[in-house]
Amino acid sequence: MTIRLHCFGESGNSYKAALALELSGLDWEPVFVDFFNGAARQEAFRGANVMGEAPLLVDGAFRLSQSGAIQQWITDRTGRFGGTDAERYEVLRWVLWDNHKLSSVAGVTRFLMNFLPEAKRPAEVIAFQQGRLRGAFDVLNAHLTDRDWIVGRNVTNADLSCCGYLYYPEPFGFDRTEWPAIDAWLDRIAALPGWKPPYDLMPGRPSDRGL
C-alpha cells in the first residue's frame, strides 16, 4: 500500500518528511493540503489529525503527524537516517534543536515576510526573528565547518530536519553566501540521489495564490 503524505509545498516541516520519504526509497505519494484556505482546520482533516497541522503521514490505518516523528518512523521502517547506535541521541538532539531554534523561527519569519499582505508585515517582529535566526545560523555554520554532515559520516535525520527551510527561494534573512559551511552542506544534500527542492517534491506554491 502506498504511503500518503498530506502536505503542501510552502511548508518546510512538510518538506522534511517528504524529503526523508523520497530519499528512503519507500513507496509514497503527496496529498495536497490547501492550508492557506483553511483545509487543515476543517473537521475532516482534524478527524485524522487533532493537531490540525501538516505534514500528516497515512499508511493504511496508521496516522502520524509532526515531521520529527515521521522521520523517526521512516528510520524504523528502513534503517536509514538514524545514525549508528552511538549517534542516535546526538541525531535526536539536533532534530530537537532544529525544531526549537531554527525551523520554528525560520518558518514564522518567512511567513511574516512573504505570505502576509505587505501592509500587515510587522517590521519590529521580523527584525527580532531575524536576529534569532542569525544566532541559529552561527551555531549550525560553526558546527559544519569541519564536517560533511551534522552527525557522523552520513546523512541523518539531523540533516534532513535542519535543512527543511533552507532551500526555499523566498527571502527571510538567509543568504547562503554568508554561511559557507551551510552552503557547502546544502550542496551535499542536494547531490544525494533522489533529492528534489520543495516545490518539485510537493504540490502547492506561492504562484498558485498569485504571489
Co-location of 179 and 147 in the same domain: yes
Give the pLDDT band (50/70/90) at residue 39.
Answer: low
Residue 98 shares a structural domain with residue 184: yes
> Residue 165 sits in which domain range?
88-190
CATH number of the domain that residue 29 is part of: 3.40.30.10
Q: Do 47 and 62 reside in the same domain of the chain?
A: yes
On whether both 111 and 28 belong to a single domain, the answer is: no
∠ Cα 6 157 54 (to 5°): 20
| Closest of 132, 88, 87, 83 to residue 107, by C-alpha | 132
What's the whole-number mean pLDDT along residues 54-65?
A: 95
The overall pTM is greater than 0.85: yes
Q: Do residues 185 and 125 both lie within one domain?
A: yes
CA max distance for the chain? 50
Residue 11 sits in the same domain as residue 45: yes
27 with 73, same domain? yes
Statement to judge: residues 112 and 65 lie in one domain: no
Band of pLDDT at residue 36, cut at 50, 70 and 90: confident
pLDDT tens profile 166-193 = 999 999 999 999 999 999 999 999 999 9
Q: Give dist(CA 41, CA 32) in Å, integer.
A: 14
pLDDT digits (tens, 9 = 90+) for 128-165: 999 999 999 999 999 999 999 999 999 999 999 999 99
Name the phi and psi angles at 56, rounded to 5: -135, 120
What is each CA distance from 40 to 48, 84, 209, in whole angstroms?
Answer: 10, 36, 17
Cβ burial 192-204 (10 Å sphere, 16+ → b, else e): eeebeebbebbeb
Q: Would you say residue 207 has pLDDT above 90?
A: no
Q: Identify whether residues 163 and 201 lie together within a single domain.
A: no
What does the pLDDT look like over 7-22, one tens digit per residue? 999 999 999 999 999 9
Is 109 in the same domain as 180?
yes
* pLDDT value at residue 42: 74
